[in-house]
Structure 1
Amino acid sequence: MVRRRLVGRLRDGVSGLKHVVGGLGTSALALAILVGMVVVFAACLVGIGLLVVPGILRGVRFAADQERARLTRWGPALIGPPPLPPTIREALRDSAVRRELGWTAVHGSAGFLLGLLGISLPVYAVEDVTFPLWFRAIDPSLGAPGMFWWRVDELGEALAVLLAGVVFAVLAVLLTPGIAWLQALPGRRLLAPAGDVDLSLRVAELTATRAAALDAHAVELRRIERSLHDGTQNRLVALNVLVGAARRALDRNPEAAADILDRAQDAAELALAELRAVVRGILPPVLDDRGLAGALDGLAAGCAVPCRVDVEVPGRCAISVEATAYFVVAEALTNVVKHSQARSVEVVVRRAGDRLSVRITDDGHGGADESGGSGLAGMRRRVEAYDGRFVLTSPPGGPTTMDVELPCGS
């Protein structure tokens, strides 16, 4: 139990550091725009800055959209506002624009400082922990090392610096998640749409996902129909023909009838196998027999690329949610084998409250594209049909990370 808590705390610290790094990037962008805003405001006082105001507002919207995209990758989706109004006067009256201006001021100042704090803790930790390995290489004529409070000449003092590094490491693990939360708070509060706008956008989003769910259902029915028509039906027709031929051959050539019956038996077995495959494609029986963890272990065991599965899901989710997670992982592993040239893949499944999260990460060459015919668009439709969230991150060179969240009830 203690080991699991330590591993969980370390995982939270690493995740928090990723959040802080991303927040530092958007806060640096917001800081640059904030400086530009100050310059333009000063220019407006003498009447020469009004022409630049539309560009500044577009820059604010761009930075805010980057932060929305970042926060959406790590939590509930933030829906962006309508396009900017055409005139400066209308834009400044727009509540979304005013909220974005306030976010720029807060995130470009406090968010940037929080990002520097969150980054400095692990940097100090690494520097201090490794200090005994390289402190003798410092030229004494340069004085005391710049990052420390005292001059270090002996190994004992260097080991004291190492202990300070351990303290920094513990502080980084404990404080980084909180720093990431504080850094993201202005974006969650100020960049989310107003209540009535949020409701209308949510209705539009649900209408679109409902249409996508109906399309996905129709595609699934067509797939089942093709599988039955092209596979099982043809096998059964062949079986019927072979049985008829065997009946006619019984009187004329009993030995030939026996051979025909053997072929008919083979055709029946193939038809049964294809029918089982179709049934498994509708709802895998292994989910009922072994649960989601066991079903995913079975997928990993059959994957041609070494696959590690880590599932921590207390209790059972709705069977439709487990089936969606199962099919997403199955399709993702198929893509990894076919396209990624990866050497390893990891599947992590967690349940937090009423959300089931699935993350599939591989170390392949990246560059996955939903328009490339690899089934990613179908996976997105299947997830969004359940009001879930699908985020794919696959830069050229890799790694590829697929994050899926599904509502699973409380």
Structure 2
Amino acid sequence: MATDYGQGYGLPAEPGHPGHAGGRRRRLPAALRAPVEGRAWRELGYVLLSLPISILLFTYAVTMVSLGAGLLVTFLGVPVLAAALAGCRGFGAVERARARGLLDLEVAEPEPLRTRRQGFTAWIGGVLRSGASWRALLYAVLQLPWAVLSFVVGVTVWSVGWSLLTYPLWFWVFPMYAGQDGIQLYGDEHHRIYLDNPFEVAVTAGVGLLFTLATPWIVRALTMVDRVMVHGLLGPSRLATRVVELESDRGVVVDTAAADLRRIERDLHDGAQARLVALAMDLGLAKEKLREDPQTAARMVDEAHGEVKTALQELRDLARGIHPAVLTDRGLDAALSSVASRCAVPVRVEVDLAERPASAIEGIAYFTVSELLQNISKHSRARSASVEVWRTENRLMLQVVDDGVGGAEASEGSGLAGLAERLDAVDGVLVVDSPAGGPTRVTAELPWRTEPTR
């Protein structure tokens, strides 16, 4: 996936941000703050709610699936089973909302039902074929035993910690109402030990403090399993996510191709085509004057000859913009050296490739460097630049560096953003590091592919 790192990349945090030097600093370390922070209480609330919700969900899922399986011998079994799966999907939506509110876990909705036709029968088929439905059912089954474990552990460590920590405040209850000196630590027929003197009360509170400080981290470790379950079973599958990415990338490719075609049409219409039309008119006038004024006709033909040369040069430039012949014939090293020679600043080019990548990847790499060098010529006010190309395992790496004024951003609507979208279409990555004052370092990463053997 292409990533836009230009916006705010390398800049100091804003005032008031926790990472900013001038912001409000927390005086207590995280280990001491955790028991009283809102996050710890939200996670504990999630653990407490998980038990009743999991009981309800497990009961519904097992009852409905068992009923549907038992009725499969009749025509009612399949609709009941579909209703069971649909209900599990509905519970999944509730669980995603609960995880979002209490665990700050953002989980996208799973892939929607895909039905070829309209109607109840098509809906049943879509529910039964959906992998998200069966993952929701699996979540309903697996959540109950884990919810019981996390509830018992969470409630136990929380109650023990806070009760022992506050023991100095309520130990007087034992001699006044229970008829004993304090919490009984040990007892038999001959001897009993109570936590009743000031030292023992203080030690008990200290142990409670340790439990209280450890409770948020224990509960957080328990909710990590819940995070994994919600994300893995109630979110979209990797395949569905990949399909969405590919659909988005296909749209980018189509839009880019359409934009390139419009650019080529505009260049032909406004450039070479207009020049050739004017050339045809000039040659027509020269033909008419050939008998009356041969010298004027010769001069007009000579001017038309110059126009032909200009039109040919424009067509060569246009062809180079579509796909340069030097790239096809000699590869990236020669093609990038040719582009660098036309840059407004001196450019050092270093290409370290033992073999050539696929022509599509090679073309994207060429146009990426070409556009970055154009940006340097137009905007950077640099004195020098460098281009480096190398291969790292299965990735083709490009890096363009200049010593200009910096401040380049891959914000929406900019040329760098469009370049990032093009790289994204082939699973590439664009990283922009351009602090104010420079230097600017743009790194592009492309998948390494080779031409298939025939």
Could you say which TM-score interval applies, normalised by the shorter chain? 0.5 to 0.7
Say if 2:348 is the partner of 1:311: no
2:245 aligned to which of 205, 227, 239 = 205
CA contact (8 A) 1:383 1:406 kept: yes
Could you say if the C-alpha distance between residues 53 and 389 of structure 1 is closer, same or farther in structure 2, counting changes exceeding 3 Å?
A: farther
- Aligned partner of 2:381 in structure 1 is 341
Query: Which residue does the alignment assign to 1:38?
Result: 31
* Contact 1:40–1:53 (8 Å) recurs in 2: no
Going from structure 1 to structure 2, the CA distance change for 1:85 and 1:365 (only over 3 Å counts) comes to farther
Residue of structure 2 in register with 1:21 after alignment: none
Aligned residue for 1:370, secondary structure, equals coil
Q: How far did residue 228 of structure 1 move?
A: 0.4
Q: Which has the higher contact order (CA 8 A, sep 6+)?
A: 2
Q: Is 2:271 aligned against 1:231?
A: yes
Paired residues of 1:346 and 1:360 also in contact (CA < 8 A): yes
Match of 1:403 among 443, 451, 454: 443
Q: Which residue of 1 aligns with 2:322?
A: 282
Give 1:53 deviation, angstroms: 5.1
Residues 243, 93 of structure 1: CA spacing in aligned structure 2 closer, same or farther, 3 A cutoff? closer
Equivalent of 1:272 in 299, 312, 332:
312
Equivalent AA in structure 2 for residue 343 of structure 1: R
Q: How far has the Cα of 1:234 moved from its partner?
A: 0.7
Q: How does 1:237-252 map to 2 (within 5 A)?
A: 237-252=277-292
Q: Deviations over 1:103-153 (max 9, x none)?
A: xxxxxxxxxxxxxxxxxxxxxxxxxxxxxxxxxxxxxxxxxxxxxxxxxxx
Q: What secondary structure, in the 3-state scheme, does the structure 2 residue paired with 1:348 have? A: strand
1: distance between equivalents of 2:420 and 2:283? 46
Which entry has the higher C-alpha Rg, 1 or 2?
2
**Following the alignment from structure 2 to structure 1, what is the Cα–Cα distance between the partners of residues 104 and 259?**
46
- CA–CA separation in structure 1 for the residues paired with 2:106 and 2:297: 84
Deviation at 1:249, TM superposition (A): 0.7
Report the Cα offset of residue 309 of structure 1.
1.6
- Superposed, 1:320-399 pairs within 5 Å as 320-371=360-411, 375-399=415-439
Confirm or deny: 8 A CA contact 2:42 2:103 kept in the other structure: no
Q: Given that residues 352 and 391 in structure 2 are in contact (C-alpha distance below 8 angstroms), is that contact kept between their aligned partners in structure 1?
A: yes
- Per-residue CA distance 1:304-331 (angstroms, 9 max, x = gap): 2222222111111111211111111111
- Mapped partners of 1:313, 1:51: distance in 2: 51
- Output the CA distance in 1 between the equivalents of 2:252 and 2:33: 45
Q: In the alignment, residue 39 of structure 1 is paired with which amino acid?
A: L
CA distance in 1, matches of 2:322, 2:439: 31
1:266 and 1:314 map into 2 onto residues whose CA distance is: 44
Deviation at 1:371, TM superposition (A): 4.2
Q: Shift in Å at residue 287 of structure 1?
A: 0.7
Q: Distance in 2 between matches of 1:51 and 1:291?
A: 56
Q: Matches of 2:100 and 2:346 in 1, distance apart?
A: 59
Residue deviations 1:273-302 (CA, integer Å, cap 9, x gap): 111111111001111232101211222233
Taking structure 2 as the reference length, the TM-score comes to 0.50
Indicate the larger mover: 213-222 or 329-338.
329-338
CA contact (8 A) 1:305 1:342 kept: yes
In structure 2, distance between residues paired with 1:304 and 1:209: 33
Aligned-residue offset at 1:94? 5.7
What's the offset of the Cα at 1:203? 2.4
Q: How does 1:81-160 map to 2 (within 5 A)?
A: 87=98, 91-92=102-103
Instruction: Name the CA shift for 1:281/1:93 in 2 (closer, same or farther; >3 Å).
Output: closer
Q: Over aligned residue pairs, what C-alpha RMSD do you find?
A: 3.4
Is this contact kept in 2: 1:335–1:374, CA < 8 A? no
> Deviation at 1:199?
3.4
Q: 1:51 to 1:408 in 2, by over 3 A?
A: closer
Structure 2 residues without counterparts, runs of 5 or longer: 1-18, 44-92, 108-227
Counterpart in the other structure of 1:296: 336
- In the alignment of these two chains, the number of paired residues is 254
Is 1:254 aligned with 2:294? yes
Write the letter of the residue equivalent to 1:305.
Answer: V
Aligned residue number for residue 110 of structure 1: none
C-alpha distance 244-258 of structure 1, shift in aligned 2 (>3 A): same
Distance 1:94 1:332 in 2: 38
Q: Post-superposition shift, 1:200?
A: 3.1
The question of whether the paired residues in 2 share the 8 Å contact of 1:54 and 1:88 is answered with no
Structure 1: any 5+ residue segments left out of the alignment?
Answer: 1-27, 44-48, 56-81, 97-189
d(CA) in 1 for partners of 2:35, 2:272: 76
Residue identity (%): 42
Partner amino acid, structure 2, of 1:38:
A
Normalized per residue, the structure richer in helix is 1
Contact 1:85 1:91 in 2 (8 A): no
**Contact 2:405–2:439 (8 Å) recurs in 1:** yes
Distance apart, 1:363 and its partner CA = 1.9
The 3-state SS of whatever aligns with 1:358 is: strand
